[in-house]
Each structure stands twice: as structure tokens, then as C-alpha cells.
Amino acid sequence: MKIPKGLLPLVEGGMVDSVIGQLQSGKEASVYIVACGDQLCCAKVYKSAENRSFRTATDYREGRKARGSRDVRAAGKRGRHGRKFQETQWQNSEVDALSRLGDAGVRVPKAHGIHEGVLLMELVCDEHGSPAPQLSEVEMTREQAHQWHAFMMTQIVRMLCAGLIHGDLSEYNVLLGPDGPVIIDLPQAVDAAGNNNAFRLLDRDVDNMRSTFSRAAPELIETQYACEIWDLFEAGELQPDTVLTGWHSRVEATPDVAAVLDQIEVARQEAEARRLGREAAEAD
């Protein structure tokens, strides 16, 4: 096939020997199968901010640390340096997330590095050696749905223990490899501790997984993992091997009516004392 413009620098530089074909074209990048020596890899060519759905990504960028004060100032502006910095940060964040999550035991592709704005990484294959299908393309049994849903909950927990939330997890960015689901597409990964949208994005990730697997196992729609996971995380009790129940109810404290009435009475007495004091002062 004709070499895509974004891959030309890698082919000319000898990092990629040939382009086998396009694997997919998504909302933020196009992905190609390429040959690097005797190894097949994925080459992810990021789209410019103007051509991708995540161009307004403030919710995701919150909490990410910039390299220096110039970058911090530039990121908030629309100048050339600011746009270039945001693009570089968006691309590098995926490499960082893949490395960080791989070290934490999350099943993600292995990154080989980013060059000229192109991410080279492991090609995830199925048991036959063909590119692994997206979860959306797979017919599953009820037993498989339960098994894969439970696995995905453990992956979300491990991600959170590593300080990250996927932020866009769905059946379209989970591949089914020979050993089960593999999570992909992480440029928008969210810093769990530094982002005010963290729980909302975690809840959406969990809900997307619940909706996907409940098509084969309808009983899963009743599970409530997000609040359980988040409460444990906020309490500092979440561990990679934490056993979850999937059932959660927030215990609301019963209001102490007597104490409230006592406070009201004290406030009333103080107000009455101030009134009498003012009247006495006026009489003098």
C-alpha cells in the first residue's frame, strides 16, 4: 500500500521496513500494521487536534504536570508553542500510561516508543495470530461475559491503584487476545488524584463495561462497582488484589435530632440575651 504521510519519516529513517496495511481509523488516530525487521508492530499515527473528537480535552488534561513554566503558560494559550506542547503532551501521555500500567500488571500493549509523533507498540493478536478483534465484534456466552466483566473490574482497580483512570473505556478500545481482554487507547488517561472529573470518568468507564457485558448476562446490569471502588480508593484501602462485591450502598448518617434542637435552643437563648442587652442599654 502507499505509505501514509505520517509514517514516511519512520520508513525513511529505517525504523519501519514496510507498511502492511491499515488496522483501523479512530477518533484520535489511524493505526497501521507495520514490519520492523522480522516483527510485526502497530504504528499509531495521531490526528491533529482539529481533526479528532478529543480536541476539547480539558476534562482529561486537568492534573497533568507540564515540564516547565513556559509550557504551563503556553498550554493555556492558542499560540503555536501552546498547540505544539499540547499535542506532544497528548501523545507522550499514552506512552507513559502504557509503561505505568504495564508495570502495575494491567493488560495493555507494550509500547516500543514514540517517534516523529508516531507510537510504535505491540500488535495484539488472537489465538490464530491474526489481529485481535475489538470486544464489540465478539459474540460471548453468559459465562464468558461474567468472566471478562470480572477481569475488567480487576483491571480498572489496578489502573486506579497506579493512579490512572482510562477515561474513555468502551467495547471499542478493548481487544480480545488469546488470554482475554487487552485495554488500548490511553492518550486521555486521567490522573485520579489530581482531576476533579475523576470519579465521573471512572463511573462512566465502569458503566460502559457493565452495559457491554450485560447484553450476554443481563444480571450484570444491577452491579454497582464504581462507588465501591471509589470509596475504597478515597479511604486509602484499595489494593490491586482487593476483592469486590459489586454491591454498594452509601450509609447515610442518621441525623441527631435532639442535638440539632439543642443547638437551635442555644442560638435562641443567645439571641434573646443580646436583645435584652440592647434594650437595657437603650433604657440607660
Rounded to an integer, what distance in angstroms lies between the CA atom of residue 251 and that of residue 173? 35
Report the C-alpha dihedral over residues 275, 277, 280, 281, rounded to 10 degrees. Answer: -110
Q: Tens digit of pLDDT per residue, the chain (284 long)?
A: 889 999 999 999 999 999 999 999 877 889 999 999 999 999 999 987 665 555 445 666 666 565 555 555 555 555 555 556 667 777 788 999 999 999 999 999 999 999 988 999 999 999 999 999 999 999 999 999 999 999 999 999 999 999 999 999 999 999 999 999 999 999 999 999 999 999 999 999 999 999 999 999 999 999 999 999 999 999 999 999 999 999 876 544 455 566 667 667 677 777 777 777 777 666 66
> How many CB atoms lie under 10 A from the CB of residue 94?
24
Distance of CA 114 to the CA centre of its chain: 20
pTM of the predicted structure, to 2 decimals:
0.78
Enumerate the active-site residues: 168, 185
DSSP annotation string for 70-109: HHHHHHTS-SHHHHHHHHHHHHHHHHHHHHHHHHTT---P
Rounded to an integer, what distance in angstroms lies between the CA atom of residue 249 and that of residue 222? 12
